[in-house]
Amino acid sequence: MKKAYLILANGDVYEGTGIGAEGETLGEVVFTTGMGSYMETLTDPSYYGQIITQTFPLIGNYGAIPADNESDKAYCKGYIVRELCRMGSNFRKDGELNDWLIDQKVVGIEGIDTRRLTRTIREHGVMNGMITPSLDGMKDKLNEISKFRVKDAPMNTTVKEPYVLGEGIRIVLIDYGAKLNIPRELAARGCEVHVLPCTMTAEEILSHKPQGIMLSNGGGDPMDAKFELEQIKKLNEYKIPTFGICLGHQLMALASGAKTHKLKYGHRGANQPVKDLVTGKVYITSQNHGYAVRNKSIPEDVGKVRMINANDKTCEGIDYLKRPCFTVQFHPEAHGGPLDTEFLFDRFIAMTEERNA
């Protein structure tokens, strides 16, 4: 086992042991509170450009199960765990997690105090960091860390070619870095899902004759997605039933005149409480985002906040008033995570059927 170091932008250094691929990696250090579902976490495209810290102390205990992947590969920049299990136990496993990390070229570190790291992020906010096998050239490393920024996440995580899943109501899913369980949930409800790259123009998207439009999750700063925003603005003119998740929620808000802001340390994990302001019900949700829509920035004649985070009151859902559209910040497809909000897919299908009756 070789030594490895995590260097944070504030100068903090953590000494541990290297796991996964050998080498050096640079990214935005974030933490997630999920106790399991590490395969889904590692392959969630929303983590593009980020180094993932698992707050649960033991990871890898059921090995590597690629069947649970949420995309074609790992899009994260690195992986941090307290302890990596070298001998997973599960009848579905195809191998060990460390071997999978090597195969995916994910550089990681174990054996550091992840509780201290998590407290640091909670106190100071998300910050850049580097996993490296050497502390040589610290000044240059800190300079490189300070300059890092996540760029072009949707363009780098979207599908390269369109594909179709299922049959029934024609839904176009615009892929900004979509988790695979989103098209699966739609197909299971009687939809013909056309998964399209986010590089397509509004005209190309409309050529698929959508009866409904799904805006997927994804990574990065929504304000950077200029091309994607322009296409949503054009699509909104047709008033096609639309459902947005995570980044799709943020992009729809921006395209409708609202504003977004970066959260101090984001919401990542499978136990985030969300309150529906209409029904008063509270749901436990799966979340992975570092940005949020500013509640008071939504034009009153355009939409209204429907759901809020029960902890910090940030926007978790918007109902739009002049067109058949609603969006949520969390993940109702919840793979992995709680299934409390799967009914939102049914709401979307019902809205689409009513509009196309």
Strand, helix or coil for residue 277 = coil
Catalytic center residues: 246, 331, 333
Kind plus residue range of the DSSP H or E element containing 141: helix 138-147
Q: How far is it, in rounded angstroms, from Cα 250 to Cα 222?
A: 6
Amino acid at 35: M
- Describe the chain by its helix, strand, coil percentages, rounded to 5: 25, 35, 40
Q: Give CA–CA dist 62/239, Å, rounded.
A: 46
Indicate the helix (H) or strand (E) that contains 40: helix 38-42
Q: At what angle do helices 226-236 and 247-255 cross, to 10 degrees?
A: 70
- Look at residues 355, 244, 218, 255 and name the one whose alpha carbon lies nearest to residue 306: 244
DSSP category for residue 235: H
Determine the distance from the C-alpha atom of residue 179 to the mean position of all C-alpha atoms in its chain, rounded to a whole number.
8
DSSP result, 112-128: S-HHHHHHHHHHH-SEE
Instruction: Locate 201 and state its tokens.
Output: 């123009």
Q: Where are the alpha helices (DSSP H) in the chain?
A: 38-42, 97-103, 114-124, 138-147, 153-157, 181-188, 202-206, 226-236, 247-255, 343-355
Residues whose CB falls within 8 Å of the CB of residue 90, separated by 6 or more in sequence, listed in order: 62, 63, 65
The DSSP 8-state label assigned to residue 331 in this structure reads B
231: which residues sit within 8 A by CB, 6+ positions away? 174, 198, 200, 201, 202, 205
Distance CA 245, CA 350 (A): 17
Are β-strands 127-132 and 3-8 bridged in parallel, bridged antiparallel, or unpaired? Answer: antiparallel
